[in-house]
Amino acid sequence: MSLLKQLNLSNLPNHIAIIMDGNGRWAKKKGLLRNLGHQGGAKTVREIVEVCAEINVKYLTLYAFSTENWNRPKLEVDLLMKLLISSLKKELKTLQKNNIKLVTIGNIDSLPTKVSAELKDVVEKTKNNSRLTLTLALSYSSREELIKTIKEISLKVKNNLISPENIDESVINNHLYTRNLPDVDLLIRTSGEQRISNFLLWQIAYAELYFTETLWPDFNKENLFKAILNYQNRERRFGKTSEQVK
């Protein structure tokens, strides 16, 4: 029996973020080249995005490429960029059919020209879609995001546009890449690693963290339902006592 029937569809996480880890290890275990692992991971992205849209999750953020990933072998990086371009071209119809809006966070200007151009094209063509907001974190670093935010706010303070006394969470939120997204409710990381890896450090302050041994290319809708079911069986207190929550 599918775990879908066990889910409380009125208590879904509003915003799910996923660290998609394990493509390389998946390929190595099968005696394949690493790029085939990334291709397998791309197929998983399609399935998870479509499932999230079907069950009415409103926000899905995927850690697709970190600033640290630029340090990988040039051949692998080049293949990843080509895969990103081909995936964007291939998936545009799927995004439109499922009423999914694509947005990006990160230092997009650091991406190759062809990649950033394709991204901007898909973002523009899907901007009015409203069923699900799919966010790709590309050339993303949470520390870099926070440094950028501090610099922008500091400059506004210097120019008397913001008073230091008025700096609060909302001011910081409004200067982040994710200014138009709600905080993360559920953070999933695949492949067995149990760390955040510089991903959405501010935005996951009260997120429920879920780690699975499953490698990303093997992660399917049942794995997603298992993560959501685990989330639904937790008590989210946000600093309150159990009695207050009840």
Among all residues, which ones are annotated catalytic? 21, 69
Output the DSSP codes for 14-36: SEEEEE---HHHHHHHTT--HHH
Query: How far lies 156's CA from each of 66, 85, 120, 149, in Å?
Result: 28, 37, 28, 11
State phi, psi for 159 to the nearest 5 degrees.
-95, 15
Strands (DSSP E) contained in the chain are: 15-19, 59-66, 100-105, 132-140, 186-189, 208-211
- The candidate with the shortest Cα–Cα distance to 94, out of 59, 62, 41, 132, is 132
Residues making up the chain, counted from first to last: 246
Query: What backbone torsions phi and psi does residue 186 show, to the nearest 5 degrees?
Result: -135, 125
Burial status of residue 211 (CB atoms within 10 A of its CB: 0-12, 13-18, 19 or more): middle
Q: What is the DSSP string of 31-57?
A: T--HHHHHHHHHHHHHHHHHHHHHTT-
